[in-house]
Chain A
Amino acid sequence: MGKTLAEKVWDDHLVRSADGEPDLLYVDLHLIHEVTSPQAFDGLRLAKRAVRRPDLTLATEDHNVPTLDIDKPIADPISRLQVDTLRKNCQEFGIRLHSLGDVEQGIVHVVGPQLGLTQPGMTIVCGDSHTSTHGAFGALAFGIGTSEVEHVLATQTLPLTRPKTMAISVEGELKPGVTSKDIILAIIAKVGTGGGQGHILEYRGSAITALSMEGRMTICNMSIEAGARAGLIAPDETTFAYLRDRPHAPKGQEWDRALAYWSALRSDSDARFDREITLDANQLSPFVTWGTNPGQGIALDGAIPNPEDFADPEEVSAAQRALVYMDLKAGTPMKSIKIDTVFLGSCTNGRIEDLRAAAQIIKGKKVAANTRMLVVPGSARVRLQAEEEGLDRLFLEAGAEWRSAGCSMCLGMNPDQLTPGERSASTSNRNFEGRQGKGGRTHLVSPLVAAATALRGTLSSPADL
């Protein structure tokens, strides 16, 4: 019997496999940031251990850094201490760090691919659950906790139990105005937030292969929102074209060798998945969330469901609680919901194509009165590229705020937060209670819906303009 892509990558990284033990898997690339690493470095120091492979490790500052006044010391002393701690640790252990103000600084999952460090067939880990983003290249990439960060720093390996595999096939053609974000929100609504637990997802089908690398990253990014630690897509010509000439892509003969290896990285035709799910791309329309977990989503044209209509009693009570928190009523049309803040950014939708798509809609128009729009590029490079293309002017002239790179309002760890009761349309990945600031209410949307919503002040698609 053939193997799935995930199984091939797994098997190619087996350092040790013995009965009655978890597999020991080699890690090709370890990305770190300021929030989940300090305790791991402390652990190394306590045990007098070194970082085994600084040359396979890369650090950036992203989670708690400000997006304004980045040339000044970080105002919040606790945030500053955390960032300073990363700087000291990287210096002590010889790790490459892209600090605030550096041209390569940005959200860790935007930086890896743009440097060409994310390549097909690799194993990539980071103390961040959205590490699944890198799966877009056919890499096996997943989030880890701080104990595991310490394990990888010390050994460049992780003991892991082999997960199951799930194929998610999306066939057909997307209608205009429908994006990869809508695909993944629809998948999560179908599978549920726990549906992917214990599985590696493989996205496949004509609607997936038609996507750009950035669109694929958006999909893989939110695998964790379906409960799966990792999600991946087989590499193809789109992948290779993206990688060629990136700073850390293989060069010359190494490129040819790499290409030969990468080209074989696909699930065999007779490979068996533990679970298979299909979705019809032709039927998809812009998708938004109404509740407080990413599985509580619906078509933008729809209305808020009645909690009583759910079959599972747990879902009924979760939906009832969500509507109270969101201050919404069953039956309300999604498009009638008024939005205070639009957030365009994050590792889900903070790349150049996302900014271009939104800028095209905003161009020459004005953000609605009483609505604010925050545009936060995913990396300093994305910001520079956007400025070169004049996108910053389009956003600024429309009345949006143009910020420096970081995770920003996606998780509200820096000053970019919602106030209690404030409602956002956000291109990020989580609509959990208080995620974007205590008492804040989040609707997850695509960059196109975000832009249209900013102009109208209510949840909207570009077709409504």
Chain B
Amino acid sequence: MEKFLSHTGSALPLRRSNVDTDQIIPAVYLKRVTRSGFEDGLFAAWRSDPDFVLNKAEYSKASILVVGADFGTGSSREHAVWALQNYGFRVVISSRFADIFRGNSLKAGLLPVILPQADVEALWSAVEAEPTLEIKVDLQTRLVSYRNQVISFDLDDYTRWRLMEGLDDIGLTLRNIHEVENFEEKGAKFKPKTLPALP
């Protein structure tokens, strides 16, 4: 995974709450077997509306999505994260994320930043007034800053370290694989196995 230290860019203000995974990318776009090319499906239903914020030229360079509460509810599709990344987003800021979406983002290297709703609204207004406004999201200091505003955000030390080092989660677990082996040895015998298939 690519290291994430800090990111500076402009933002896309999406004034909607409860943006579910079917809005981020509808199921018909999930048929690819690769991790790329999902940008076509990003917000597909809304994109046919020329007034939709993603279609506005002033936000065409945005790499930070600022969105309403409960972003990413619904499906476990990591394609939602890939669609945002494939389109060019590196950070999503919201006051509340759905658990699975947030987990998927942290695995895939899209940074979900939780800020209080009041700060999200202030950001919306600031970006709408100045679409090219430069926003810095610094993972080292866990700060979001723009103009003279500096807002801190929470992220546990372990996840932050993993993102900053760009570490492979599976590789980290494999370092402790003897503990998995020990666990398997003392496992209960009555637990089912899928093989062989039983009639």
User: CB of B141 within 8 A of chain A?
Assistant: no
Say whether, besides A79-B31, A227-B70, A413-B28, A29 and B180 are in contact (CB < 8 Å): no
* 8 Å CB interface, A151-205 against B: 151, 154-157, 159, 161, 193-194, 197-198
Please give, as numbers and ranges, the residues of chain B lying within 8 Å of A387 by CB-CB distance. none
With both chains docked as a complex, state the minimum distance between the C-beta of A294 and any C-beta of chain B, in angstroms: 9
Interface membership of A303, Cβ < 8 A:
no
- Give the residue of B35, B45, B96, B99 whose beta carbon is less than 8 angstroms from that of A229: B99
Pick the contact of B192: A76, A116, A145 (CB < 8 A). Answer: A116
Q: Which of chain B's residues has its CB closest to A429's CB?
A: B74
Tell me whether A194 and B98 are in contact in the complex, defined as CB-CB below 8 angstroms, given that A15-B179, A35-B30, A119-B192 are known contacts. Answer: yes
Using known A-B contacts A145-B104, A159-B169, determine if residue A247 contacts B199 with beta carbons closer than 8 Å.
Answer: yes
Are B74 and A129 closer than 8 Å at their CB atoms?
Answer: yes
CB distance from A299 to the nearest CB of B (A): 22
A335: min CB distance to chain B, Å: 26
Chain A residues near B172 (CB-CB < 8 A): 159
Cβ contacts under 8 Å, A8 to chain B: none
CA distance A146 to B34 in the complex (A): 11
Is there contact, CB below 8 Å, between A122 and B191? yes
Contact yes or no, B34 A39, CB < 8 A: yes
A443 CB to nearest B CB, Å: 16
Kindly supply a per-residue 1/0 record for chain A positions 111-130, scoring 1 wherever the CB is within 8 Å of any chain B CB and 0 otherwise: 00000110100100001110
| Closest-CB distance, A94 to chain B (whole angstroms) | 8
B151 at the interface (CB under 8 A from A): no
Chain A's closest residue to B161 (CB) is A20
Given A147-B169, A434-B26, check contact A161 B156 (CB 8 Å).
Answer: yes
- With A128-B76, A148-B103, A157-B180 already in contact, the answer to whether A29 and B192 are too (CB < 8 A) is yes
Q: Which of A51-59, A211-219, A450-458 sits within the interface? A: A51-59
Contact with B35, one of A39, A127, A224, A430 (Cβ below 8 angstroms): A39
Q: Which of B51-59, B85-93, B182-190 contacts A (4 or more CB under 8 A)?
A: B182-190
Chain B CB within 8 A of A293 CB: yes
One digit per residue, 1 when the CB lies within 8 angstroms of any chain A CB and 0 when it does not, for chain B 151-172 equals: 0000011100000000011101
Q: Cβ of B75 < 8 Å from any Cβ of A?
A: yes
Are A438 and B157 CB-contacts (below 8 A) given A147-B169, A197-B98, A314-B69? no
Looking at chain B's contact residues, the main secondary structure is: loop
- Once the chains are docked, how many angstroms separate the CA of A330 from the CA of B30? 35
Q: A35-B77, A81-B33, A198-B99 are in contact. Are A96 and B23 (CB under 8 A)?
A: no
Given A21-B158, A148-B107, A314-B17; A154-B174 close (CB under 8 Å): yes
Q: Indicate if the CB atoms of B20 and A15 lie closer than 8 Å.
A: no
* Interface check B5, CB cutoff 8 A: no
Contacts of A79 in B (CB 8 A): 31
Closest Cβ–Cβ distance, residue B152 to chain A (whole Å): 20
Min Cβ gap B36→A in Å is: 10
B81 at the interface (CB under 8 A from A): yes
Q: How many residues of B contact A (CB 8 A)?
A: 63
Neighbouring B residues of A76 by C-beta, 8 Å = 31
Task: Annotate B1-36 by CB proximity to A: 1 below 8 A, 0 otherwise.
Answer: 000000000000000111010110011101111110
Q: Are A155 and B22 in contact (CB under 8 A)?
A: no
| Number of A residues with CB within 8 Å of any CB on chain B | 86
Q: How far is the CA of A127 from the CA of B21 in the complex (A)?
A: 14
A147/B78 in contact, CB under 8 A: yes
In angstroms, Cα B172 to Cα A157, docked, is: 12
Q: Is the CB of B17 within 8 A of A129?
A: no
State whether the Cβ of B112 lies closer than 8 Å to any Cβ in chain A. Answer: no
**Complex contact A29–B68 (CB within 8 A):** no
List residues of B (57-115) whose CB comes within 8 Å of A's CBs: 68-70, 73-79, 81, 96, 98-100, 103-104, 107-108
**Measured between C-beta atoms, what is the minimum distance from B117 to chain A in Å?**
8
Q: Which residues of A contact B156 (CB under 8 A)?
A: 161
Closest chain A residue to B26, Cβ basis:
A434
Please, how many angstroms separate the alpha-carbon atoms of A314 and B78 in the complex?
A: 26
> What are the residues of chain A within 8 A of B45 when measuring CB–CB?
433-434, 438-439
Q: B33 and A39: CB pair below 8 A?
A: yes
Give the residues in chain A near B199, CB-CB below 8 Å: 247
Which residues of chain B are within 8 angstroms of A250 by Cβ–Cβ distance? 190, 192
Cβ contact within 8 Å between A151 and B169? yes
Distance, CA A228 to CA B98, complexed state (A): 9
Task: Determine the chain A residues whose CB is within 8 A of the CB of B157 once the complex forms.
Answer: 20
Distance in Å: Cβ of A332 to nearest Cβ of chain B: 22
Q: Which of B26, B69, B190, B199 has the most CB of A within 10 A?
A: B190
A146 to B22, alpha carbons, bound, how many Å?
A: 17
Q: Which residues of A contact B98 (CB under 8 A)?
A: 194, 197, 227
B140: A residues at CB distance < 8 A: none
Q: Mask for A135-153, Cβ within 8 A of B = 1, else 0?
A: 0000000011111101100
With CB as the reference atom, state the residue of chain A lying closest to B156.
A161
B197, CB-defined interface residue at 8 Å: yes
CA distance A15 to B128 in the complex (A): 49
Interface hub of A104, A119, A434, A439 (most chain B Cβ within 10 A): A434
Q: Known contacts A39-B35, A128-B75, A250-B192; can you find 9 more A-B pairs with CB under 8 A?
A: A35-B30, A38-B33, A122-B191, A146-B78, A154-B173, A197-B96, A412-B26, A432-B74, A435-B22
User: Can you list 28 residue pairs at the A/B interface with Cβ under 8 Å?
Assistant: A15-B179, A21-B158, A26-B187, A36-B76, A38-B34, A42-B34, A47-B168, A47-B170, A52-B180, A96-B195, A116-B192, A128-B75, A144-B103, A151-B173, A155-B180, A159-B173, A194-B69, A194-B70, A197-B96, A247-B199, A258-B188, A314-B17, A411-B22, A411-B27, A412-B27, A433-B23, A434-B22, A434-B23
Closest 4 pairs (CB-CB, A-B): A145-B104, A147-B107, A145-B78, A143-B76
